[in-house]
Copies of this chain bind each other. A is one copy, B any other.
Amino acid sequence: MEFFQLRRVDEAQSLFLEACPKGPLGVEELDLLEAHGRCLAEDVRSAGDLPAFDRSSVDGYAVRAGDTFGASEGLPAYLRVVEEIPMGRAPARRLGPGECARIATGGMLPDGADAVVMIEHTEHLAADEVGVLRAVSPGENVMRRGEDCPAGGVLVPAGRPLRAQELSLLAHAGVLRVRVARRPRVAIVATGDELVDPGEEPGPGQIRESNSFALRALVAEEGGQPVFLGRAPDVRDAVEAKLREALKYDVVLVSGGSSVGARDMTAEIIGGLGRLGILVHGVNLKPGKPTILAVVDGRPVVGLPGHPVSAQVVFALFVSPLLRRLLGLPPFPGHRPAVRARMAKNVASAAGRVDVLRVALEARDGELWAEPVQGKSGLITTLTRADGAVIIREEKEGLLAGEWVDVHPI
C-alpha cells in the first residue's frame, strides 16, 4: 500500500472497480411495476407470437394487395365492402377477390387480406363499395403476426433495465412477474468527534451530522438500499466496531474523519479488516483528494471526505459506477446525459488533476450559460446554489469564457 500517493481519477476508478464484484449479488422475483428501473436477471422470452395475428396499423380497408395494383386517383380500383371488422373480434369471413373489409387501427386482418389501404386513399361510393385511389404492396400498413416478437424469441434480454416501455412490452406478452438483480444494500457510517445527531443542539465546536442524509439520498437515487448505521466518534474501537457491522452489507460508505489523525486512523482500520485492504488512498481530484478506496474480503469500502461537497463528487465518480454495476446496469453509452452550456467565465485548473466545478445555469440571449458558483468550497450552500457540475479533465489547464461544456445535473 502506497500511502497518500495521489492516483489519477481514471486509474483509481479501474483499480477499484476491477477488485469489486463484477455484477449483481443476487436475484429476486417481483411484480412488474415493482421492478421498474431494475435489471432483468435472465432473458425473458415470449410464449406466443406478438402480435398474435396480423393487425392493421392504420384506419382503412383490408384488401388483397393484388386487387389494388395500378390503382390511382384517375383510375380507382373498385372493391366490394363485405364487412366492418369489429375491434377485438375475429373477422367473420375470408376475403375473396375484389373484396375488402373496413378495419380500424389494431384490428385483425381477415384471411385472404395481406395489406391495408389508408382511409385517406379511398373514396366512399356506396354502403358496400369503395374506390381505392392508390396501390398498396403486400404487407403495407400491416403489423404481421410475430413481427414485434416471434414465439420463443427474446422479449427483453438479461441485463436490460426495465423502463416504461419494457414494462409495457412484458405486460403485453402476459409476463407479470420478473426476476431481477436485487438492490445492493449500502451501509453508511459517519465518523467525527465533532458530530451530534441532527435532532440535537450542537455545543461549541460541534455540528449536526448531515452527510448521511445526502449519502442516503444518493444511494437511493442510484437504486441502492441505504442503511444508516449511525455515527462513531474518532475513537479506534468505536470506528472499528461500526465498520465490522457495516461489512455485513454489500457496500460500505464511511464518511468523515476530517482531521489528519482521524483520516489516517480510518485508513489503518480499513487496511486491517481483511483482504485486499486499501487500493487507493488519495486521488488527484479537487474536491475529493483524501478519498479511500478499498475492498475487504470482497466487499467494496469507500472512505469519503467529511466535507459535503467532496463527498458528493467522490460518490458520483466512484460509488455510482459501482452501484450501477451491482444492479446489473450497463455503463452509460458514452456519457451521462448532460446539459450543454457555455462557460460564463475563465476558470483555471491545475494540469494533471481532475477539477469538479459547481455551476449555476442561466439562460441569456437564447443560450445557456454556466456560471461558476462562488464561495469557499467547504460551504454546503455552494452545492445547493449549483445546478450541475462541470468536470475539468487532467489534460485541461482550465476553461475559457464562452467555451461549450457539458453540465452534469447534480
A interface residues with partner B (beta carbon < 8 Å): 32-33, 36, 50-53, 55, 57, 59, 85-91, 104-108, 119, 143, 147-149, 156, 160, 163-174, 176, 192-195, 198-199, 201-211, 213-218, 220-221, 233-234, 258-262, 306-308, 312, 332-341, 361-363, 368, 375-381, 383-384, 386-387, 406, 408-410
| CB within 8 Å for A105 and B306 given contacts A90-B204, A165-B312 | yes
Tell me the bound Cα distance from A406 to B57 in angstroms.
Answer: 29
CB pair B57–A165 under 8 Å, yes or no, is no
CB pair B198–A105 under 8 Å, yes or no, is no
Residues of chain B lying within 8 A (CB to CB) of residue A335: 339-340, 368
Q: Write 8 A-B pairs (CB below 8 A) sorted by A numbering.
A: A50-B380, A105-B258, A107-B259, A160-B384, A163-B217, A170-B210, A176-B198, A176-B199
Which residue from B36, B106, B208, B306 sits with its C-beta under 8 Å from A172?
Answer: B208
Tell me the bound Cα distance from A307 to B384 in angstroms.
Answer: 41
Best-surrounded residue of A50, A90, A380 (most CB of chain B within 10 A): A380
CB pair B172–A380 under 8 Å, yes or no, is yes
CB pair B363–A334 under 8 Å, yes or no, is yes
CB pair B86–A193 under 8 Å, yes or no, is yes
- Give the number of copies in the complex: 2
CB pair A194–B234 under 8 Å, yes or no, is no
Which residue from B91, B173, B194 sits with its C-beta under 8 Å from A87?
Answer: B194
CB pair B259–A195 under 8 Å, yes or no, is no
Tell me the bound Cα distance from A281 to B335 in angstroms.
Answer: 38
Best-surrounded residue of A176, A194, A199, A308 (most CB of chain B within 10 A): A194
A391 to chain B, nearest CB (A): 14
A164 to chain B, nearest CB (A): 4
CB pair A119–B380 under 8 Å, yes or no, is no
CB pair B258–A104 under 8 Å, yes or no, is yes
Residues of chain B lying within 8 A (CB to CB) of residue A211: 168
CB pair B169–A380 under 8 Å, yes or no, is yes
CB pair A378–B55 under 8 Å, yes or no, is yes
Best-surrounded residue of A106, A208, A409 (most CB of chain B within 10 A): A106
A297 to chain B, nearest CB (A): 29
